[in-house]
Every structure is written in structure tokens, then in C-alpha cells.
Amino acid sequence: MLSKSINQDSEIFRWLAAVTYAMVAALTIRLILMPLGLMATVPWWIRTLICALSLGVMVSKPTKRLVPALLTGTLLLVGYGAIR
């Protein structure tokens, strides 16, 4: 009933999407540059390298990019933890 009158393409929803993406990006950068817990034991250059590789996967596959990039980052970080 009420949901039919809400326009998802309105300015408020675009603004909310932009704020959401900005918050996710800021938290991701914070995790990379100022990690807590076990992530703090991983050297910054390895975290940066894994991020660069994940971004490379994301850019290389324009149609399906999010899941492979997330899997790349996760598997590389877990692999580093298993080797270390």
C-alpha cells in the first residue's frame, strides 16, 4: 500500500545510496590502514597488495566483478594466514 507510493529513483534514495557507499569505502580503508585484532598482525604492504590484486580482479571482469574480487581478497588473506 504505502510502498507503492515510494519512488526508488528519487533524490533522497540516491543520496542514501551515495552515503552508504561512502561509509563502506571509509570502513574498508580504515580496516586496511588501521586494523584491529588479527588483521593488525598482517604487514601493511601485504594488505595493500591483496587490495590491489582484488581491485585488479574487479576491473578485469566488468560483468561479474564483486563476488570474484571478494573471493580473491578473502582467499589470499586466509592463504597468508595459513602459510604464516
pLDDT tens, residue by residue, 24-80: 999 988 988 899 988 899 999 999 999 999 999 989 876 778 888 889 999 999 999
H or E segment to which residue 25 belongs: helix 11-33
Interval 17-30 mean pLDDT? 92
**Can you tell me the distance from the alpha carbon of 50 to that of 41, in angstroms, rounded to the nearest whole number?**
15
Q: What are phi and psi of 9, to 5 degrees?
A: -95, 10
Asked if residue 8 has pLDDT above 70, the reply is yes
| pLDDT of amino acid 1 | 63
Q: Are 39 and 31 in contact (CB under 8 A)?
A: yes
Q: Cell for 72?
A: 580473491
For residue 11, give its domain range.
3-83
